[in-house]
Amino acid sequence: MIDVEPKIAYAREHLDGAVNLPLEEIEVRHKELPKDKLIITYCHCGGESSRAKQAADKLAGLNFKKVAYLGEPASAFFEYKKAGHPVAVNLNRYIAIEQLTTAAGSPVFISTASAPHILKPVSPRINPAIVSCEILYFRMKNHPEEVGKNFIVIDLREKEEYDAGHIPRAQNIPLGKLLSKNSDGRFVYETLPKDKEIFVYCAGGYRSKIAAQELLEAGYDKVYSLDGGFTLWRKNNYEIEK
């Protein structure tokens, strides 16, 4: 579930379980989204040219084949709220969504009346642990022998981002690949060791939180999302590799 409003509107209030990806940033950040999962966009106001529909159309044009948008022409956000469904200030509940497969270029329309039958709140999610750049940096600096042996670092950015500079000894597994399945039907993340600590990072923390959440729910209990991501790591003038 993607809230396509600006960050300030999302921070004020948003639907339970939704993450924020503003309409204006979709073309730049669409690689952060997995293509094998259904994506439902919504905005705070409906209409013939709603932000939700524009976002869904953009994603479909970018070859996302499972796209839907909520609540046009009704006001999806407030109609959903008035109907008595939960609205969250923090992302703290998982929303399981029935599978819908759409053809590229033709996002599915979901009315606010049908939404309760499609969106099913289930058990609360466990929030992933956040670790500061300083903690990871000094641990790697003071105990380099632990890297690979006791913990691993995963860079979730795309290859071109990774090649331009990354945290030393970090493995590059883009988020989309991490959440995809191998030819044997297993998720790529299932190849990761459960007996080691796993530090995940991206450019700023958005992708790493998604990855950490998925890993936690898959039984990985030693997962940490790097606060501020590589942007803050570089800003702190910590060592990088190319």
The pLDDT of residue 225 is 92
Greatest CA separation for the chain: 58
* Whether residues 120 and 133 fall in one domain: no
Task: Choose among 22, 98, 106, 19: nearest CA to 69.
Answer: 106
The question of whether 202 is a catalytic residue gets the answer yes
* Whether residues 113 and 224 fall in one domain: no
The pLDDT of residue 16 is 66
Annotated catalytic residue within 43, 45, 133, 202: 202
Judge whether 20 lies within some domain.
Answer: yes
The pLDDT of residue 66 is 81
If you search the block for the tokens 């705070």, which residue do you land on?
A: 44
Tens of pLDDT, residue by residue, the chain (242 residues): 888 888 877 777 777 677 889 999 999 999 888 888 888 888 776 555 678 888 888 998 898 888 877 754 334 455 555 666 554 433 222 233 333 334 434 565 555 444 444 444 333 445 668 899 999 999 999 999 999 999 999 999 889 999 999 999 999 999 888 888 888 888 899 999 999 999 999 988 878 888 888 898 888 989 999 988 999 999 999 999 99
Q: Do residues 217 and 125 touch, judged by C-beta distance below 8 A?
A: yes
The pLDDT of residue 47 is 52
Judge whether 242 lies within some domain.
Answer: no
Domain holding 109: CATH number? 3.40.250.10
The pLDDT of residue 114 is 47
* Whether residues 152 and 115 fall in one domain: no
Domain with 112, as residue range(s), is 2-124
Judge whether 201 lies within some domain.
Answer: yes
Query: Domain ends where: 124, 148, 179?
Result: 124
Judge whether 155 lies within some domain.
Answer: yes
**Cα–Cα distance between 98 and 191 in angstroms, integer?**
27
Judge whether 241 lies within some domain.
Answer: no
